[in-house]
Structure 1
């Protein structure tokens, strides 16, 4: 289908774990064979096979890539695939059933290899035809065409096996009504083809298989007859099962679905967007605009948040500024919001957001638009906020938390506007006083803006953890304000926006007054959150306290994202809500693992039902996923259950072996 959008043996560490992979009937005993835990990806640069390549990288599975567009590429033969009884790949991915770039001799070598070792093959985007085990669709039988926004269904066989983590429905992407996002072929299976995914045509008159297993003389080939790219929802929902099937449930790599949401500015008031004028007082409103009332949560909002969390089983993390409480107390004698939050303190996560939300980068010069960093006269040196002020902003808020019994981790910090960290163009480098002040205040984890720097990085002895912004701004609390502000930022000048989106072609259609939040903004922004949830991304998300008050705009968005997730995934694959420290720890392990794999420092092999992982060089946390029967040498279950298997990061220091035995593979 064309429509679609060995390495050195210096042993530093060995980890042997008992695994009992499924056996392919007719396969010779694996006791005498060794299979490397590595995939061979043959690509023609098409979006579907490249999407699978991206998927394997996200999970952390080592791959070798053979590019069919490279005239000097390595040819597939026995020498590439096997060395005696040592198979070099545990699975093979092709762009199609028999891509034009592979010769008959190469396919024959590949098929012989797959039969000998029981290696499975995944066809990224195949055409439904007899050679792929399907009846080619015709106008009368089957269906070939657009399936944007459609829903397919996993079969009982799929749900009883590698797709047991799923509930059954598989949504197909519909990102742009003007573009065909998802092309499918629904076809009738021929003998030897076992459907795993089926669907009915958009007009409801025809149905057929979209994916299934083709058995061919001792080989198993998973055929996909639908299009997808790396961000397609159908791939994201099917991904864990595709990986499990291809690797027989045993592979290097670790995959979870994460969602953490930070609520910044809790206890503070926020300025309010002015609809129609399209500005924020104190930032870009003309002097003639009278500032509307500030936005601040109430005790009723706290009660609503507690009830929502209990109903959904999801925790919100509140990033608070103690100065907001003190200011409210001074004006009223008591602060009902503080009292309500303290009374419900065990319901939430809590994060230090500094005492007063002061910007901790440079001293700002607001005489210029946009602002710039103030400089010392004559010398021209940048004026930075001092280390003493930074430390005071941190420690005063920690003291506030202790006085009120808020269960914070005092080593975590979110600065106001992520201040102190580099923010080009105004602040190209970190405030040079920041790292020292963080160390003096005991901070080990500081939040960064993921839209500016998506990777984890050190800040002195601390680590900066990127957070994804949810596109509901700090100055909007009502639906009217939210729609007006969203349209101003995200639409073209012709549609009434500021037109900044035209520079990168990212303009959206306007959200309609009144209904636009529910029928446009929520689906768009919830889909962005889901993209992170479904791609092994541990970075937190953040919004601000105005989204929890007045029209409480955050909840419909989270209800959509969490509800969709739980509608597609069974309880065996729950959402993980990490703390900020846990997010940084997980992201750091992912980055170090990816670097080690790219540097060729890691080898893994399956032999006689046991896995051996070899790491050259420095100690490394090794991610390993097994089937549900994975065991450690003492007979305990390996790792923790998640989805259809078990998985864990195994810390390896020096030379470490865990000897096991396993039943012979027959």
Structure 2
């Protein structure tokens, strides 16, 4: 099947390989500290010698984020959002902000002392902008209610029960150890296997700054190391993340900088939030990964390494005729056997999005009555997952008028409006492919659809709106979930009565079946004209970066596989159920998709415990999960609090579907919860308007069950603010617009 270059899989979004080429950007605070030297933050002790712990308090399930705008605070906000955890931001930079005092932190309640926040996240232990009185009020609150604190990035010292650091500087690439203490139920990191590698995307760039130190022997103070690492060039172990406890309050501190895009932060921050919330919270945590292989049963046009073009698309037919041998790639029976064995060995399913006309085309071209590829799939059809990809892969948007070498525009009516593909044609494409699947025993998802190149949906710049005939055709064929391109539209939206399921394109291009083809096209797109490339990277410096040409011998395994692994894993560990997509051409000849998938799964399984498997949703499941996530994040029409060993969830609007995460052993109405993931009991409960649901979770350490006191919160003076730089800017770079790339390639 011919596709325009950079449309569909390899396709609509080439992420810059220089997503790894970042620039060092020191935050204003860190820059000032570098110039000024260590900053001493002195905390004033409370007037009382001891703090009375609240007896049987109510604790609202909401996190307070005290923000100074720094990258690590932004990172925690992102993580809370991804997991759907309710939180409130207090911006220290905001004029007229509320004062942090007892009135801000607690609620008047006739039944019990009532805390408004179950945990607090701070930039450091004593951020600029908070007064000593506010710090005192916050610490007394924490001591009274047993509310924990995360300090995002600190300089280790006496204020955290630490000795002065034995190392400070670059921590990129360090192999961090998650300690046995961290993996206890109390400390929330049991979802990890034991080792997490800190990012080192570009060896030429210092991506994260950090300190390594050891716990000091301080009377009345304990330090529990959660994550440790060996200082570069030494055999000395130091603490990267630990819990300080002075008998009155607990504070988790990090001595390394991160931002929201770094994978080690994405991996470790979940455990820190589990610790912060004592494992009781609203929201959901899971790691998702699914891969769709488009055009199964069809043949995909191939990249021509000599002409730097795609046969039958933007190649000059007089020089590179598309009917010559070797211009397309179509799977063969041995590829089906390989796929089945691979899926069994790796316990992972690839979703086959199929086009029935591929078989009809094969029968016609070969003048035969039997398709060996279809027969190979039919022998074990139930072993595979299938998705309707329309019968002929027809473009379902506007009628195209082609220009030179693959360029096109929409045909127009006399009034200037686009000429749309008809509802009848769209309906026929969907229904005929369903009939084909039924006839041959392909167990496809009945309500899911992937249109050819996501056509029918708007696709700028040529197609500015959806084909108005698409929505009624989807309704007529009972389609509830239709694929979209996440590089164009990341968020789910309605198309008539259906919803989109955004899919991430992987840069394993649709028109490549060998490593040489993949590297050659990569070089064409991402190298300068002087280096033999298209110059796209030069013409679009704001969206991509030129690279040194890759070796066609080693470039695929040494460069493309690692970068695609990193990009995909950032989605997987980001609580993101959006599927990824490639093409059937990537499953034949050199079978270039499998090394990428194996690397992704290997890295994941080397990091996460068996209790936290990667989830492999169908398209329908992915769409449903996206809907649940977005509905909860956008509305959050429920509140919850902990009291006397129970959690009560109440609807605040017209009812809500609420994700709940509780410690293992929790019950609802005396019954165990229905699902367990990452060692947690999870539930998604529908709470009707005005209704509530109660869970039993036992005593968790908030407040006390009888009258008791704790020592006054620790008084200290020391360097609590890091003096080193923060992190490099790791934000994903914008992608090359597919149309721009196509023109440049032509």
TM value normalised by structure 1: 0.92
- Are 1:289 and 2:320 matched, yes or no? yes
Q: Which runs of 5 or more residues in structure 2 are unaligned?
A: 1-25, 32-50, 705-746
Q: Which of 109, 134, 138 is the aligned partner of 1:110?
A: 138
Question: Which residue in 2 is equivalent to 1:133?
Answer: 161
SS at match of 1:411: strand
Would the aligned equivalents of 1:315 and 1:347 in 2 still touch at CA under 8 Å? no
- Segment of structure 1 superposing worse, 106-115 or 270-279: 270-279
Q: Which of 648, 652, 656 is the aligned partner of 1:620?
A: 656
- Are 1:388 and 2:424 matched, yes or no? yes
Question: Which residue in 2 is equivalent to 1:460?
Answer: 496
Distance 1:603 1:658, change over 3 A: closer
SS at match of 2:267: helix
State the Cα RMSD in Å: 1.9
Q: Which of 288, 298, 309 is the aligned partner of 2:332?
A: 298
Question: Which residue in 2 is equivalent to 1:309?
Answer: 343
SS at match of 1:156: coil
Distance 1:256 1:663, change over 3 A: closer
Would the aligned equivalents of 1:4 and 1:47 in 2 still touch at CA under 8 Å? no
The aligned runs of 1:316-331 (5 Å cut-off) are 316-330=350-364, 331=366
| 1:416 positional shift | 0.4
The separation in 2 between residues aligned to 1:283 and 1:522, in whole angstroms, is 27
- Are 1:503 and 2:533 matched, yes or no? no
The separation in 2 between residues aligned to 1:577 and 1:522, in whole angstroms, is 21
Question: Which residue in 1 is equivalent to 2:691?
Answer: 656
Would the aligned equivalents of 1:269 and 1:295 in 2 still touch at CA under 8 Å? yes
Would the aligned equivalents of 1:276 and 1:484 in 2 still touch at CA under 8 Å? no
The separation in 2 between residues aligned to 1:627 and 1:412, in whole angstroms, is 35
Question: Which residue in 1 is equivalent to 2:582?
Answer: 543
- Are 1:73 and 2:102 matched, yes or no? no
The separation in 2 between residues aligned to 1:402 and 1:27, in whole angstroms, is 70
Would the aligned equivalents of 2:151 and 2:252 in 1 still touch at CA under 8 Å? yes
Distance 1:382 1:328, change over 3 A: same
Distance 1:476 1:661, change over 3 A: closer
SS at match of 2:65: strand
Question: Which residue in 2 is equivalent to 1:21?
Answer: none
Question: Which residue in 1 is equivalent to 2:607?
Answer: 568
Question: Which residue in 2 is equivalent to 1:184?
Answer: 210
Would the aligned equivalents of 1:97 and 1:132 in 2 still touch at CA under 8 Å? no
Question: Which residue in 2 is equivalent to 1:637?
Answer: 672
The aligned runs of 1:195-214 (5 Å cut-off) are 195-214=225-244
The separation in 1 between residues aligned to 2:241 and 2:88, in whole angstroms, is 25
The separation in 2 between residues aligned to 1:531 and 1:430, in whole angstroms, is 30
The aligned runs of 1:484-633 (5 Å cut-off) are 484-501=520-537, 502-509=540-547, 510-597=549-636, 601-633=637-669
SS at match of 2:300: coil
| 1:46 positional shift | 1.1
Question: Which residue in 2 is equivalent to 1:20?
Answer: none
The separation in 2 between residues aligned to 1:279 and 1:214, in whole angstroms, is 60
Q: Which of 88, 95, 101 is the aligned partner of 2:123?
A: 95
- Segment of structure 1 superposing worse, 229-238 or 348-357: 229-238
The separation in 1 between residues aligned to 2:493 and 2:473, in whole angstroms, is 17
- Are 1:157 and 2:181 matched, yes or no? yes
- Segment of structure 1 superposing worse, 327-336 or 166-175: 327-336
Question: Which residue in 2 is equivalent to 1:259?
Answer: 289
| 1:318 positional shift | 0.1
The separation in 2 between residues aligned to 1:408 and 1:389, in whole angstroms, is 21
SS at match of 1:158: coil
| 1:663 positional shift | 4.7
The separation in 2 between residues aligned to 1:508 and 1:574, in whole angstroms, is 37
Would the aligned equivalents of 1:492 and 1:507 in 2 still touch at CA under 8 Å? no
Would the aligned equivalents of 1:4 and 1:183 in 2 still touch at CA under 8 Å? no
The separation in 2 between residues aligned to 1:608 and 1:171, in whole angstroms, is 40
Distance 1:99 1:654, change over 3 A: closer
Q: Which of 299, 312, 315 is the aligned partner of 1:269?
A: 299
SS at match of 2:125: coil
The separation in 2 between residues aligned to 1:115 and 1:633, in whole angstroms, is 32
SS at match of 2:630: helix
The separation in 2 between residues aligned to 1:133 and 1:620, in whole angstroms, is 44
**Can you list the C-alpha shifts for 1:396-420, whole angstroms capped at 9, x where unaligned?**
1111111111111221111100111
Would the aligned equivalents of 1:315 and 1:348 in 2 still touch at CA under 8 Å? yes
Q: Which of 404, 412, 417 is the aligned partner of 2:453?
A: 417
SS at match of 1:566: helix
| 1:657 positional shift | 3.5
| 1:173 positional shift | 0.7
The separation in 2 between residues aligned to 1:380 and 1:298, in whole angstroms, is 46
The separation in 2 between residues aligned to 1:145 and 1:348, in whole angstroms, is 50
The separation in 1 between residues aligned to 2:55 and 2:668, in whole angstroms, is 20
Q: Which runs of 5 or more residues in structure 1 are unaligned?
A: 6-25
Would the aligned equivalents of 1:457 and 1:463 in 2 still touch at CA under 8 Å? yes
| 1:265 positional shift | 0.3
The separation in 2 between residues aligned to 1:527 and 1:661, in whole angstroms, is 40
The separation in 2 between residues aligned to 1:493 and 1:200, in whole angstroms, is 44
| 1:660 positional shift | 5.6
| 1:233 positional shift | 1.6
Q: Which of 171, 188, 195 is the aligned partner of 1:169?
A: 195
Q: Which of 162, 168, 174 is the aligned partner of 1:144?
A: 168
Distance 1:401 1:30, change over 3 A: farther
The aligned runs of 1:1-16 (5 Å cut-off) are none
**Can you list the C-alpha shifts for 1:400-458, whole angstroms capped at 9, x where unaligned?**
11111111122111110011111111111111111111111111111111111111111
Q: Which of 259, 274, 278 is the aligned partner of 1:248?
A: 278
Q: Which of 410, 423, 438 is the aligned partner of 1:373?
A: 410
